[in-house]
Amino acid sequence: MTDSMNGADFAALIQALNAAMAAAKAELNALDSALGDGDHGEALAAAFAEADEKARALDKPTPTSVLQVTAQALLNRMGGASGALYGTLFLRMSSAFKDRDDVTCSDWSAALDAGLAGVQARGKASPGDKTMVDALAPAVDAFKAGADLAAGFAAARAAAAAGAAQTERMVAKFGRAKFAGERAIGHVDAGARSMALVFETLDEYWKGREHGET
């Protein structure tokens, strides 16, 4: 098989993310309830359900169009800082693919760079601030070390998971969690965990595709 993804792949990926976020809703809500509003999982699940519906409705999906409707769903259904940041990530990535219908490993690398830059420009967070960036930034860096999509996605998944886990030892600097001060230590950031779940789902989708399961 070719080492690239087309519009149908991206539509299938959003379907997988819809299922993953629905399954993780309770876990993410529980993490968020410790330091936030307790609705992170609920909001993400609703947004990806809408994104899946919109992606399925596209007549001729391209990577760009699928990510655009996903960004719209995240911005409209999630709301708040998380919705703005997730929406920015997918919107910046959609622009980086420039309506191509055959995106390669190097295309993914450029798109992830653009997405991370957008998230950091909008949210002002850096690694160590106990946000989704703690999972996203190391994942973007790790992806670049992969020789192909399989290696890149696997490396990004591992890096995102490790980055999310490390937020348990951090004091938050953004959002409602920053008011918790030292009490934030001992809790994994919900945004970092959901971002790790995105890369986990991406890796699982690609593994299944390689083995003819998707």
The pLDDT value given to residue 98: 87
Stretch 3-32: mean pLDDT:
96
Structural domains of the chain ordered from first start? 4-207 (1.25.40.340)
Task: Give per-residue pLDDT as tens, 143-161.
Answer: 999 999 999 999 999 999 9
Report the mean per-residue pLDDT for the chain: 92
In this prediction the pTM is 0.94
Task: Confirm if 175 and 129 have CB atoms less than 8 A apart.
Answer: no
- Confidence grade of residue 37 (pLDDT, cut at 50, 70, 90): confident
The yes-or-no verdict on residue 139 having pLDDT over 70 is yes
Stretch 205-212: mean pLDDT:
86
The pLDDT value given to residue 151: 97
CA angle 183, 184, 187 (to 5 degrees): 120
Comparing 9-18, 19-28, 185-194, the range with the smallest average pLDDT is 185-194
Task: Give per-residue pLDDT as tens, 49-89.
Answer: 999 999 999 999 999 999 999 999 999 998 888 999 999 99
The pLDDT value given to residue 183: 65
The pLDDT value given to residue 181: 60
SS3 of residue 4 by DSSP: strand
At position 70, the amino acid (one-letter code) is T
**Owner of token pair 């996203």:** 136
Question: Which residues have CB under 8 Å from 105's CB, separation 6+?
Answer: 3, 4, 146, 147, 148, 149, 152
**Percent of the chain scoring above 90 in pLDDT:** 79
The pLDDT value given to residue 175: 67
Task: Confirm if 10 and 206 have CB atoms less than 8 A apart.
Answer: no
Cα 180 to chain center, whole Å? 25
Helix residue ranges per DSSP H, 5-148? 7-23, 25-35, 40-57, 63-73, 80-97, 105-123, 133-143
The pLDDT value given to residue 79: 80
CA dist., res. 189 & res. 206, Å (int): 26
> What is the helix (H) or strand (E) element at residue 104, kind and residue range?
strand 103-104
> What is the helix (H) or strand (E) element at residue 5, kind and residue range?
strand 4-5
